[in-house]
A and B are shown apart, each in its own frame.
Chain A
Amino acid sequence: MATQTAEAQPDTQVQDSMVVRFAGDSGDGMQLTGGQFTLSTALAGNDLATFPDFPAEIRAPQGTLFGVSAFQINFGSRQINTAGDAPDVLVAMNPAALKVNLASLKPGGLIIADSGAFTKRNLEKAHYEENPLEDGSLAKFDLLAFDISERTIEAVKPFGLGNKDALRSKNMWTLGLALWMFDRPREPLHDWLKAKFKSKPEIAEANIAALDAGHAYGETAELSGPLKQVHMPPRPVEPGLYRTITGAESVSLGLVAGAQLAELPMFFGGYPITPASAILHHLARLKEFDVTTFQAEDEIAAICAAIGASYAGQLGVTSSSGPGIALKTEAMGLGIMVELPLVIVNSQRGGPSTGLPTKTEQSDLYQAVYGRNGDAPMPVIAARSPADAFDVAIEACRIATQYMTPVMLLTDGYIANAAEPWKVPDPSAYEPFPATFLEELPEGEEFLPYKRDEKGARPWVKPGTPGLMHRVGGIEKHETTGNIDYSPANHQRMTELRRDKVANIVVPDQEVSWGEDTGDLVVVGWGSTYGPIKQAVNRWIEKGAKVSHVHVRHIWPLPQNLGKLLSGFKHVLMPEMNTGQFKTLLRDQFLIDAESLTKTSGQPFQIAELEEAIGRCLNEKCGGKIGTNDDQLPNPVGVEK
């Protein structure tokens, strides 16, 4: 065992939070390890945030830099809002994983490396000339390097597996060690493995043996090296029932709940696309909640079938990511024209075009708000975290059915994949918003398919309703009868009616998420930047600065008080993972001097980056951009520094 101890050894035992990154080859099972570690962390009552980062390639060539898959978790006995900046612990299952992730590790941080995977061939693939475990180049870190591969093979030997199969349990061995490090019970993992390999009990037993061996190793290593057991007390939170949830799960559950609150069956039309497919997968298993899922032939058919289902009286929902949303655009225009309910979920990823399929970005805001032909207004709302996506999905269903309009719900790759603890809500606490269908007319009244209610919504009439036959379509239609009408006055009137209907949607007043209602600086965010902004603003508040955080859910229409609220601050700083799209919108709507802070590297903001930018804003100049960041997930892999 090669161990070395950094000169300044941090006292990890008093830390109230910790960042651990598991990194290995795509085939090493790091996402599974991370996922299970997350679960055990949640069960231990710590708050947490995770960041799974994996390559776009399904099985990248083994041992290569671009085949590295990583999972980062930040957990603690205090509130956790981000997946953390720099890890305290890096688990590197091969040389490539070490190389790609080393730059991010905190000085004095702990490296746990599988020396068995640091073979000549693997070192070459990772472009190492010398073995970093042996050449002293890791002196500023704590290093715990030993042959995990060999120990795993040894641990599972009694089960008669070949070397190749035995090595598959390497991740469980590593997980066992991690469980020991943070004093976590192994029983939930034992149960999980038994259930997972129900039909192959010998595989379950082998994995359990590997897990136990890793755990036992921790005790041995503690005696002789840098490994310390950390006791992290649970984070005090509101009492109740908790579970972990990813954004994709949360959106799916929110849609199911939303459809039930609207008292409608749900029709979900989807087409596989990263990172949105998980929603289709979740909903496909929820048929008993009156959910029909339809994997269409393409993105266009997915939204068209959903509109068809809405036309026939169900709640049509479709979901995709940027390129797929682009394909759906024409159908959205039709949805706006025929005024039918529809929820469109966009799990944003880096663009344009195919862009960065597995990386996160917030660059579809213009597309959501403006991206259609004609004057085609559509409400847009954004989720700020995995847990928040549940409420936002319900809100999308409410607006769609109450106002007879398509609604776009924005999440992103980060929210979709990341997990956080979630206090399981009580569904009865949500106010139902039953959809109403026009079924018969008051005596003597003429049927007008486009006659509006006080909200500007037209009646929803299901085909099959006697006496209310009518035609709808994408051609401009008469203000009340819905018959084709191209006349100039009618088109002007209809354009205004469609605009006003959406503009007058009642959205809650904007609240200040953190800080005072007035001050020197307000940091305005939307979507998944919530966590890092909140933490960075809080650090400045603690330093006595007059900084506040405003996080906007309703992107369109905007909360009516937002302009006035922002005018109570000297400076407005808007961090976005795009080149300043929401900034442009707010400047246009409120004529405020908002300054952009942009980041377009496919990486979420780090707290430290925002903290520094806020400092600049308070002292000298607001705004700017944050460049690429080599010490952050997801790393620009394969790029030599």
Chain B
Amino acid sequence: MNGIYLDNAATSPVHPEVIKVMQKSLEEVYGNPSSIHQYGRKARQTLDNARKVAASSIGANEKNITFTSGGTEADNLALIGTALANQDKGKHIITTTIEHHAILHAAESLEKQDFTVTYLQVQSNGQINVQDLKDALTDETIVVSVMMVNNETGIIQPIKEIGEILKGHQAYFHTDAVQAYGLLDIDVDKLGVDLLTVSSHKVNGPKGVGFLYINENVKISSLQHGGQQERKKRPGTENVTGIIGFQKAIELAQAERDDRNLAYNTYKQLFLKKLESEKVSFSINGDLENAIPSIVNISFPGTNVEQLLTNFDLSGISASSGSACTAGSVEPSHVLSAMYGSSNDRTINSIRFSFGLPNSEDEVTEAATRVASIINRLIK
């Protein structure tokens, strides 16, 4: 059966125009941006252009953009880099129980180095309670990391409110904006954010590239050591071709943002309507009103994730569930556990569908039809 890709939050297909500029750059821009000859200068020029585009997409200064190998590296640099550089001011970190493992496991590694981490619980709607954050803040808190949009549920966190709370506090504010970027309006100053993570391959750019916005006031240690690249915050010869592709992906995302929001929202509504009209028993995890258009996380009572995902794949539907797998089998989602409790069946019977550029209205309707027939067969 023809494949329907509803896992755009895992990674997204590279936009044809991105491929075009990358191919051109591979052919023409092969210099090392650090070299002091014309080839180097040309590479440096393209790199700086990309940096400008990345910066302006979040209302930042280009000097504050550090390109990385992707979201995971940016998250690690943000959390560990600031923790190590500011431990004289305190060793307390605040994050949430629903962060991506790039943050959660980085935080755990800091706990092993005698940092104290407070993991904020979320409410059953998927959002943190900002009062909890206020209560958790101490004079020792040096960094707060709260993701902008959760990757499993699509739930948007109150980033601006958190930014307000942290105004005047020594703690830096980091947000992982990997799932938000390209769909939400992001301005680092308006949001009061000091550090912000973005990944290229979630917005139809190539894999292996991302950036971390680092406000100039942030004291941060680099996690790797080498040359002078990226203002020494991220040494290593830059992934010029990847960054050029990323730039194109950003430009397209900026230009098409409203259209994409509209289209993904339509897909989501169509998908849910079709499930309803096929009399599928389901419920949505988190509040639809607080969710990004591209992601919907659905619980199908009476089923289990492994059975669902395998059946979906065998009928051509690509979707996913909780992030972590061991030996290929799916662990209960830590995000849904945080929202509903670890013994709730939602943690083992929920699927994330995420919409994106390759989809069409016909396609998502067809996908919902196939999903419905599988669910209705399984729970009959």
| A and B part of one assembly | no
